[in-house]
Structure 1
Amino acid sequence: MKKLFLVGAVALFGAMNAQTFGVKAGMNISNLSNADDTKSLVGFNAGVFMNAPLAADFSIQPEVLYNAKGAKYDGPGDISLKIDYISVPVMFQYNATPQFYLEAGPEFSFVVSSKAKANGMSGDAKDAVESFDIGVGLGAGYYFTPNIGLTARYVAGFSDVIKNNPGDSVRNGVFQIGLAYKFSK
């Protein structure tokens, strides 16, 4: 039993030592599916991440991000819906090379604020949108140096973002591109 405890403690210490922490920020290009006459809306994302190796070529990367999503409506006037989230993606990464990785995983998002804008007037739309969104992300990244990298990801939403929606589900879809910085050990 003592040997098992010792092996577990050494493995846990090794795993904690192998973790890398970092920050990331970038641009979102988002839209809402099944919403008539919508165009993409440009927003941003920013947050922190922890990357922990699971095996030689695989790692897990949980993140906490501020995500600005939504859509513009293509028609007369300036009409848009902006939904800001705190998102928690949990990405499973395959490290194809030491610099390049592919990733996939779930993203859990919680609404922070929602604003509707029409012809120069804006108002709170938080009561019209669901407070939780879940989706799946697929992406890739490349580190130019051991610390600085370029990231790209598409997140497809699974849940309807509009409360009490009688029609087809309106879902988030967002393409993200940005920079990541890993802190040195």
Structure 2
Amino acid sequence: MKKLMLLVLLFCGSIIMAQEASFGIKGGLNYGATGEYNGHQEAAGDLSSNFTEDGENQRGFHVGIFSKFEIVGIFIQPELLYTSLNTEYSDFDYKLDKIDLPVLAGVNVLGPLNIKAGPSFQYVLSNELENTSLQIGDVENEISVGYQLGAGLELGRLGIDVRYEGAFQENNTFGEMATENNFTIDSRASQWILSASYAF
């Protein structure tokens, strides 16, 4: 909880530093998957082997608030978002709920079109397996850092954004199979994000 409060304070602090800032709400769809599922499987003749599986892309959603202010021709856009993701693996579905704090810098390039990029902080609220009896523990790091980059259109108070989010490094969560063989899932997502926003 202390780490979550740190993210909220970081968001609020970036707003306080701005002399003129706009505020708004946003939400939309996510399409992607969390990282690799690494496990161990038994084979015939007492043989065993390790395996790695990429998850199947699924739809998710996000909703939250944002602020935007300009500094010498460059705008800074911090956001505070609740995001829900679901990734399908061969043995189970992996559900992840998190708080995202992207802090993006951007420029207006042509009329209402802008481009932006920056770090995205992730705080994991919960992660669990569905459609299985397997158990899973907590992620290695409650807070991790990835990146976002994309483009947007501003049409008056309305905005539309398309972004890609990736990870700088893995943030594994550990589980245990019935055979007592451990497995891991990388909780950092690689995904496309489509958002609509409204500025007050």
With the shorter chain as reference, the TM-score category is 0.7 to 0.9
In structure 2, C-alpha distance between the alignment counterparts of 1:96 and 1:19, rounded to whole Å: 20
Identity, % of aligned positions: 27
Alignment match, 1:40: 57
Q: Deviations over 1:5-40 (max 9, x none)?
A: xxxxxxxxxx52x31111110001121233304201
* Worse-matched range after superposition: 104-113 or 125-134: 125-134
In structure 1, C-alpha distance between the alignment counterparts of 2:66 and 2:128, rounded to whole Å: 28
**In 1, are the aligned partners of 2:26 and 2:196 still within 8 Å (CA)?**
yes
**In 2, are the aligned partners of 1:161 and 1:172 still within 8 Å (CA)?**
no
**In 2, are the aligned partners of 1:110 and 1:131 still within 8 Å (CA)?**
yes
Alignment match, 1:89: 102
What displacement does 1:178 show? 1.5
Residue identity matched to 1:87: D
Instruction: Write out aligned runs for 1:17-36 (5 A).
Output: 18-35=20-37, 36=53
Q: Tell me which of 121, 146, 151 is aligned to 2:161.
A: 151
What displacement does 1:164 show? 5.8
What displacement does 1:69 show? 2.6
Residue identity matched to 1:114: N
Q: Tell me which of 59, 70, 79 is aligned to 1:63.
A: 79
Alignment match, 2:121: 108
- Which has a greater percent of strand? 2
Q: Tell me which of 118, 122, 132 is aligned to 2:131.
A: 118
Q: Deviations over 1:38-90 (max 9, x none)?
A: 2012110111111001123x1000110111234111x37xx211111111110
In structure 2, C-alpha distance between the alignment counterparts of 1:53 and 1:158, rounded to whole Å: 27
Q: Does 1:131 align with 2:142?
A: yes
Residue identity matched to 1:22: G
In structure 2, C-alpha distance between the alignment counterparts of 1:133 and 1:29, rounded to whole Å: 20
Let me know the Cα RMSD of the aligned residues: 2.6
In structure 1, C-alpha distance between the alignment counterparts of 2:86 and 2:141, rounded to whole Å: 13
In structure 2, C-alpha distance between the alignment counterparts of 1:154 and 1:96, rounded to whole Å: 19
In structure 2, C-alpha distance between the alignment counterparts of 1:164 and 1:21, rounded to whole Å: 39
In structure 2, C-alpha distance between the alignment counterparts of 1:129 and 1:83, rounded to whole Å: 14
Show structure 2 runs of 5+ residues with no match.
1-17, 38-52, 176-181
Show structure 1 runs of 5+ residues with no match.
1-14
In structure 1, C-alpha distance between the alignment counterparts of 2:196 and 2:102, rounded to whole Å: 16
In structure 2, C-alpha distance between the alignment counterparts of 1:59 and 1:33, rounded to whole Å: 31
CA separation of 1:19 and 1:98: change in aligned 2, threshold 3 A = farther
What displacement does 1:160 show? 1.9
SS in 1 for 2:172: coil
In structure 2, C-alpha distance between the alignment counterparts of 1:139 and 1:90, rounded to whole Å: 13
What displacement does 1:133 show? 2.1
What displacement does 1:176 show? 0.6
Q: Does 1:163 align with 2:163?
A: no
Q: Deviations over 1:126-176 (max 9, x none)?
A: 525642221011111112x21011111111012323236999983421211
The size of the alignment, in residue pairs, is 161
